[in-house]
Amino acid sequence: MSEPLPHLEYVLVEHFGCIERVALTLTRLHALVGPNDSGKSTVLDALRLLGGIADPTGRSLAGADVQRAVRRVGTPRQAESLRLGFLAGRLGWAARLEPGNSPQFGWHRPTPRPDLAAEAQRIDQILGRTDSAGDAALRSFPRTHLSGSIPTAIWGDDGAASPLPGSRLVRLDPDAMRAPAQILTDAEPLAFRDERGAGLAAVIDAIATRDHEAYSAINRQLTDLFPALKGIHLTSPGNGAKALGFRLVAGTVIPAEQASEGMLYALAFLVLQHLEPVGLLLVEEPENGLHPARIREMVELLRRLSERQQVVMATHSPLVLNELEGEEISVVTRPEGRGSRAMRLSDTPRYAERARAYRNGELWIAYCDGVTEHDLLEGIQRDWEAP
């Protein structure tokens, strides 16, 4: 197997949706937590766009994605633009997208690699520069490049690969997963049809055809979670489609329409580990539909996935946070009249002291207020809100 790709260590997003400016320090497995409407989903959308733009193979980003991102900015104030930057391994990268203008990109690869704080400052400098001098300056390219691939020159003379070979956003929806789907041809990669998990039946059928051991493993893991199940039952309703069902130990076959949402969510997560790998897997509320006793298994599965691809999730579940370290959690808030802000849980005031009394999920619940997380962040919020 190939070595795991460098993961995003630092990400800067400016002027994207509700985000004015947010900086994130990420780990290979990372969770975003915070109040409703704080910007967690918007951060995932920005990371998805970033993962696609930074993919020099052009597999994951169509020109329409860039157009949608620029439209999402709305009517920006004078001189504003969507800005994205990241640090991964020995690569620093930045992009600026201004409505009506050509996208600009910049890159640098420090040797030797400075510390993360210095690197983060350098990304800020890249985004702030407008001249073309030096290899760290932003460069302009026609928008058409984004519908294919980014010029090799951006990645250096040695043709260094991007640390982000594509991104995948998962916002599972039971109705989408229940629906029959056209079979995947041999040439098609193992992937859901969309972020909702559409095409689940076709993906499972393809796994059964291409890798019987993987299919058997999925069945075994699913029946371990749901002892009343004997296994997955696929049918062919016609017109080249596959439909999902389940066979019970008692012999009864139930169609996906009658299956519980928890069973569908669990199956989709088991399938995730067999999809074509991407550099950045983004998961919205992975706890949805799962019994609390299954949260640990789900996080353990995502942690295994994070060994080969970075996993960033948005969650409201203290049980998910209990399975993570403090540096693997970022608290996202959106003070009134300001854009989203983010801080690692381990960097919040008195974290070491509080962590002796609470697990991470209970710490968050104990000190959050559901609006600005004031008691958790204490005086920090005032600094963020200062003009």
pLDDT in tens, 247-303: 999 999 999 999 999 999 999 999 999 998 888 899 999 999 899 989 999 999 999
Domain with 136, as residue range(s), is: 8-166+309-385
How far apart are the C-alpha atoms of 264 and 173, rounded to whole Å?
9
Number of residues in the chain = 387
How far apart are the C-alpha atoms of 96 and 80, rounded to whole Å?
10
How far apart are the C-alpha atoms of 239 and 227, rounded to whole Å?
33
Residue 50 has pLDDT above 80, yes or no: no
For residue 180, cis peptide bond before it (omega within 30 degrees of 0)? no
Whether 198 is in a domain gets the answer yes
Let me know whether 23 and 117 are in one domain. yes
Is the model more confident about 151 or about 64? 64
Best CA proximity match to 86, nearest among 22, 42, 39: 22
pLDDT above 70 coverage of the chain, percent = 67
* Element (DSSP H or E) covering residue 377: helix 374-377
Residue 77 Cα to chain centre, angstroms: 28
Is the model more confident about 187 or about 92? 187
- The answer to whether 267 and 222 have CB atoms below 8 angstroms apart is yes
Identify the residue whose tokens are 């004078």: 78
Whether 110 is in a domain gets the answer yes
Say how many Å lie between the first and final Cα of the chain, rounded.
50
Whether 114 is in a domain gets the answer yes
Phi, psi of 34 (to 5 degrees): 160, 180
Per-residue pLDDT at 84: 72
Per-residue pLDDT at 385: 47
Let me know whether 194 and 92 are in one domain. no
- The CA-based angle 205-210-215, given to 5 degrees, is 60
Per the prediction, the chain carries an average pLDDT of: 78
Domain boundary residue among 232, 259, 277? Answer: 277
pLDDT band, very low/low/confident/very high, at 328 (cuts 50, 70, 90): very high
Residue 312 has pLDDT above 90, yes or no: yes
Residue 237 has pLDDT above 60, yes or no: yes
Let me know whether 193 and 270 are in one domain. yes
Per-residue pLDDT at 135: 39
DSSP 318: H
Domain boundary residue among 253, 277, 301? Answer: 277
Let me know whether 328 and 313 are in one domain. yes
Per-residue pLDDT at 344: 94
Domain boundary residue among 277, 294, 318? Answer: 277
Mean pLDDT of 238-247: 95
Residue 148 has pLDDT above 50, yes or no: no
Let me know whether 20 and 162 are in one domain. yes
* Helix, strand, coil percent content, the chain, rounded in steps of 5: 35, 25, 40
Let me know whether 49 and 93 are in one domain. yes
Whether 301 is in a domain gets the answer no
Per-residue pLDDT at 14: 80
Whether 300 is in a domain gets the answer no
Is the model more confident about 245 or about 162? 245
Let me know whether 215 and 153 are in one domain. no
Whether 255 is in a domain gets the answer yes
Of the candidate ranges 52-56, 199-203, 245-249, 308-312, the one whose mean pLDDT is the lowest: 52-56
How far apart are the C-alpha atoms of 34 and 22, rounded to whole Å?
14
Residue 179 has pLDDT above 90, yes or no: yes
Let me know whether 94 and 173 are in one domain. no
Let me know whether 231 and 320 are in one domain. no
Mean pLDDT of 26-39: 93
pTM score of the predicted model? 0.82
Let me know whether 26 and 136 are in one domain. yes
Let me know whether 199 and 345 are in one domain. no
DSSP 160: P
Q: Record the tokens describing residue 320, joined without a space.
A: 């998910």
Whether 290 is in a domain gets the answer no
Whether 173 is in a domain gets the answer yes
Q: How many structural domains is the chain composed of?
A: 2
Of the candidate ranges 79-93, 135-149, 310-324, 340-354, the one whose mean pLDDT is the lowest: 135-149
Strands lying side by side in the sheet with 341-344: 167-170, 280-284, 310-315, 29-33, 329-333, 341-344
**pLDDT tens per residue across span 58-100:** 343 444 445 554 454 443 444 456 677 766 666 666 666 665 5
Give the three-state DSSP class for 89.
coil
Let me know whether 34 and 149 are in one domain. yes
Per-residue pLDDT at 96: 67
Residue 30 has pLDDT above 70, yes or no: yes
Per-residue pLDDT at 123: 59
**pLDDT tens per residue across span 191-225:** 999 999 999 999 999 999 999 999 999 999 999 99
Is the model more confident about 114 or about 77? 114
